[in-house]
Amino acid sequence: MKKDISIVIPLLDEEESLSELNDWIKKVLTEHKFSYEVLFIDDGSNDRSWSIIEELNKQDCSVKGIKFRRNYGKSAALNVGFEAAEGDVVFTMDADLQDSPEELPEMYKMITEQNFHIVSGWKKKRYDPLSKTIPTKLFNWATRKMTGIHLNDFNCGLKAYQSDVVKNIEVYGEMHRYIPAIAKWAGFTRITEKVVSHQERKYGVTKFGLERFINGFLDLLSINFVGKFGKRPMHFFGTLGTIMFVIGFGMVVYVLGEKIVYLYEGISAPLVADKPHFYVALTSMIIGVQMFLVGFLGELISRSSPNRNNYKIEKELG
């Protein structure tokens, strides 16, 4: 039966918080008379997390669970949860009790009544150490500039989505930070944010280190490139290759022209191969040809892909 709300909760070794989180969710959503399901996605936990999920499932039919055989990462857990979700509005939240279920009813209204595709939480007041908050601010600034999506907290785990959004995107690698950007490239552009409360971590420790910011920046470059040029790689590599080749060819013409002028005027001229400009020009031309060929091969691969004409259609009249 169709639900009002699906809550996808990826987790890794969070045995202390699961029962308390489920009780909190149940209290809030029951008070507001929502039909709902809670999907716990166990990302290869080594503690009693899965046993607790099994116990919760026996006590409460709204609780469901999926367990990975090993740790695949948060993106994989979210992608599987999105596939399984049956609610009209799909929420994601972390399992560490730092996201408050009290925010869910208002975010649900923003999706259903104001027709937003995505409502992202903004933890304006945080209880994290400076070693985490300062890099996060820099990360959010860079992401806003590169994606054109004006959110203050891309990495907040508490988000609400129209069901169509999560059914039409694929989250992989470590792309969970950029779901709004992935959704934007898929045509879901009505994206906003809501200030949400941030709870201090009650149990355990964070599973993410500073390396996530390095990986996050690389993922940001990837997702921007794929979003803009995934179906037309020749436009990117071909343009760069042509520019490099023209610059190199122009330098070659200049060097050879200078040599000809010297010879015409009877002036002793150095060998062309002795001038550094010649090697810069030659390197530029070689790189230009290589970039052009990369674009050409990318275009061949793109045109051979079975998904080359896989476009997302929102509505159709027959």
Predicted local confidence at residue 81, as pLDDT: 95
120/23 same-domain check: yes
In angstroms, rounded to a whole number, what is the distance separating the alpha carbons of residues 56 and 222?
39
148/266 same-domain check: no
Q: How far is CA 89 from CA 167, 273, 293, in A?
A: 11, 67, 45
> Mean pLDDT across the chain, nearest whole number?
84
Predicted local confidence at residue 265, as pLDDT: 79
34/177 same-domain check: yes
47/166 same-domain check: yes
164/219 same-domain check: yes
Predicted local confidence at residue 132, as pLDDT: 66
pLDDT digits (tens, 9 = 90+) for 236-250: 888 889 999 999 999
117/250 same-domain check: no
Structural domain count, the chain: 2
The pair of structure tokens assigned to 235 is 């436009």
Name the helix (H) or strand (E) containing 243. Answer: helix 233-264
pTM of the model: 0.72
Residue where a domain terminates, one of 175, 205, 229:
229
pLDDT digits (tens, 9 = 90+) for 66-93: 999 999 889 899 999 999 999 999 999 9
202 in any annotated domain: yes
Describe the strand order of the beta sheet including 63-67 as a list of residue ranges: 63-67, 36-42, 3-11, 87-92, 159-162, 118-122, 191-195
pLDDT digits (tens, 9 = 90+) for 192-204: 999 998 777 666 6
54 in any annotated domain: yes
DSSP, residue by residue, 188-210 = ---EEEEE--BPPP-SS--S--T
The alpha carbon dihedral of 305, 312, 43, 41 has a sign of negative
311 in any annotated domain: no
163/274 same-domain check: no
273/212 same-domain check: no
121 in any annotated domain: yes
The alpha-carbon radius of gyration of the chain (Å, integer) is 26
316 in any annotated domain: no
Domain span including residue 271: 233-304
204/237 same-domain check: no
171 in any annotated domain: yes
Predicted local confidence at residue 311, as pLDDT: 47
64/140 same-domain check: yes
By CB atoms closer than 10 A (0-12, 13-18, 19+), residue 269 is middle
Q: 11-20, 54-63, 208-217, 302-311: which has the minimum mean pLDDT?
A: 302-311
201/257 same-domain check: no
| Three-state secondary-structure class, residue 132 | helix
317 in any annotated domain: no
In angstroms, rounded to a whole number, what is the distance separating the alpha carbons of residues 85 and 41?
11
pLDDT digits (tens, 9 = 90+) for 139-179: 788 888 888 888 998 888 899 999 999 999 888 777 888 89
Instruction: Give the CATH number, domain containing residue 114.
Output: 3.90.550.10
The answer to whether residues 85 and 39 touch, using CB atoms and an 8 Å cutoff, is: yes
Checking if the pLDDT of 9 tops 90, the result is yes
The alpha carbon dihedral of 238, 240, 243, 248 has a sign of negative
